[in-house]
Amino acid sequence: MTNSPIRRVAIIGTGVIGASWSALFLAKGLDVVATDVAPGAEAKLRAFVDQCWPAMEELGLAPGASRGRLAFEPDLEKASRSTAAILADVAKITGKEGLKFSGRAIVFESEEAALAAILGDRVKAGHVIVIRNEGPVGGPGMREMLGVTGAIVGTGLSESVALITDGRFSGATRGFMIGHVAPEAASGGPIAAVKEGDMITIDIQKGSITLEISPEELTARLYGWKAPELKYTSGVFQKYAKLVGSASRGAVTS
């Protein structure tokens, strides 16, 4: 497989946080697609980046880097698919577990399936456990992965595996545990494209998660993705799943 780190990222919104991230990513030579753009925000964002650039070079944040390209796409789904990028995730890393982890993906479509595999000794040292369809839409409700993280520790795997999920977990986790991945699998995020056996590298210092397949293969997988059926066909959970937004924006309903 070809090592294929993300080269384009999508940024939701052009407020202070979105603009700051845009400037940082552009400084690293990454192309940025800004989405959910308010009227007149394009010119303001370009001016903000231009204003920040000299200071970033002085601080060594863009040492000799060629600036990435900045584009705008009002449709979040189109932006996330065209970039094949994770818009947000959360990890708690102490440094004791190391700063880099590479391993083969073992993929589960639910917390229950992952828990059964861990307790059944199917998960081995070196695996990157991928649990998807547990986000705000897929869960629905973004359930806590407490059982899974507890089982990882209880079976002695906390120092030798990694976990990536669009669900969430508590602050008691340790090791390479990455949650709140957005866009989630149920919305066609990149986590939906991961297949069993794919090599994944997590680099804390670079702030990157690399799915080591070719860009062409990743694009083909994302465009071949089909939305899974909702787990509930009526009632409050169905209504919630249809209305809830991305975890990167607070998983609020509209």
Rounded-to-integer distance, Cα 106 and Cα 97, Å = 20
* Cα–Cα distances in angstroms (integers) from residue 190 to residues 38, 142, 149, in the given order: 26, 17, 22
User: Checking DSSP bridges between strand 88-91 and strand 70-72, what pairing results, if any?
Assistant: unpaired
Given 170, 214, 234, 254, the catalytic residue: 170
Residue 170 annotated in active site: yes
CB atoms within 10 A of CB 238: 14
CA 116 distance to own-chain centroid = 24
Rounded-to-integer distance, Cα 60 and Cα 14, Å = 24
The crossing angle, in degrees rounded to 10, of helices 41-58 and 16-27 is 50
Active site residues: 170
